[in-house]
Amino acid sequence: MQATAPALPAAARDRILDAAEQLVAHQGASNLTLDAVAQAAGVSKGGLLYHYPNKEALLAAMIERHCDDLDESCARELEQLPSDQTSSRLKALILGVLKRRLGREDLGAALLAAAANNPALLDGARAVMPSSVAQLTASGSCFARSAVIMLAVDGLMLGEVWRLTPFTEEQRELIVQELLRLADEACAQIPTR
């Protein structure tokens, strides 16, 4: 009878995900091995397998953590915005999603590539999208305009992940400022339907 590996403390899980993210960012998700992750994280393979029984579970956890990081970034931005403005939630989404994450530039592209090969890896991200749309509906803003802004934010972010955007930093800042202006405009209008 084989002994079950002990549960890893949160710090060990973070080390595993940090190591996996570094490997994926530098080598790509298709080259990721559990042995390499265990070695880079300084944990036994049994300890790794206890929490992440296979490569797909590890990649899914990385995508979930990436989404959680985005949510936390949006929440931090919301704390900095006036609580009495209807546009604050939409502005927090713009700022939180488009905030530069130094050292993690390659991670998004690698995770998206992994998800292209296994769309089920995005199931966790898909599960939270309806709540984002519900927040837009409940915010009192013009839904259609808010949704267009959200789609523009996603488009800019994905263009940057794939390194397709030709914008300078100055142009990018103008785009972000315009999105923030549009958020104020969208939230100032009373929906007619």
Does the residue 11 lie in any domain?
no
> pLDDT tens-digit profile of 38-63?
999 999 999 899 889 999 999 989 88
Range of the domain at 167: 83-188
3-class DSSP state of 51? helix
Q: Which amino acid is at 173?
A: E
Q: Is this model's pTM higher than 0.85 or not? A: no
Element holding 169 (H helix, E strand): helix 169-188
Does the residue 2 lie in any domain?
no
The CA-based diameter of the chain, rounded to the nearest angstrom, is 67
Does the residue 154 lie in any domain?
yes
Does the residue 4 lie in any domain?
no
Does the residue 97 lie in any domain?
yes
Does the residue 35 lie in any domain?
no
What would you report as the CA-atom Rg of the chain, rounded to the nearest whole angstrom? Answer: 19
Does the residue 39 lie in any domain?
no
| Token representation of residue 75 | 């929440």
| Token representation of residue 33 | 């091995």
CA dist., res. 47 & res. 65, Å (int)? 19
CA dist., res. 56 & res. 35, Å (int)? 14
Estimate the crossing angle of helix 105-117 against helix 143-161, to 10 degrees. 100
> pLDDT tens-digit profile of 58-108?
998 988 888 888 889 999 999 999 988 888 989 999 999 998 766 666 777
Does the residue 33 lie in any domain?
no
